Amino acid sequence: MEALKKMAGVTAAQYVKDGMTVGLGTGSTAYYFVEEIGRRVKEEGLTIVGVTTSSVTTKQAQGLEIPLKSVDEIDSIDLTVDGADEVDKNFNGIKGGGAALLMEKIVATPTKEYIWVVDESKMVEHLGAFKLPVEVVQYGAERLFRVFEKAGYQPSFRIKNGEKLVTDMQNFIIDLDLKCIENPLEFGRMLDETVGVVEHGLFNGMVDKVIVAGKAGVTVLEAL
């Protein structure tokens, strides 16, 4: 599996050209993309500016001496490469397994070309087998948890070291065990309108390409 992830990440790095502002994703597959960009900066003299999607990626990029800017210092991003936890046939996806969904969506929004790198196990018929992360403000989080519970979403707080995980943006994550999301667009709109929800892990209609690594090699899927 790690070999497939590396294959996808290295393939995505080929889309990066000199002078680009590049969104650097978070997660186990995006890790290999960032590593390859670091190698190209060092060995090929690639000149780019990176914009990171988490404190983890910031640390990785700094270690590779990739020049960085904050998202507040840029107006647009040429290319962002990130992972995804699930991708359906309509190119909607679930992200946030690494707890970076808010920063990931903020970086994806001003991006001209958005690419996901995944292994073939992430391609699904319907979203929802992977729990849907919902980032919520700390104030009122328990009440919101009960609202989700009453709605039958089987919520659970994301836990780390025995405590509720706190994201880079100082919020909690409630994971919804939905099994199957029949209409991701409608469900995403409902969450957007829910007070206390900062962001959710449904990335609907945002991606331009999905690079899928499988046993037979790498496939590049283009969104219509």
* Catalytic residue numbers, as ranges: 104
H-helix segments, 44-167: 55-63, 101-108, 141-150
- The angle formed by the CA atoms of residues 23, 95 and 21, to the nearest 5 degrees, is 5
Sequential DSSP letters for 45-66:
----EEEESSHHHHHHHHHTT-
Q: Which residue has the tokens 């936890």?
A: 85
Q: In the numeric block, which tokens belong to residue 95? A: 């992200």
8 A C-beta contact, residue 95 and residue 84: yes
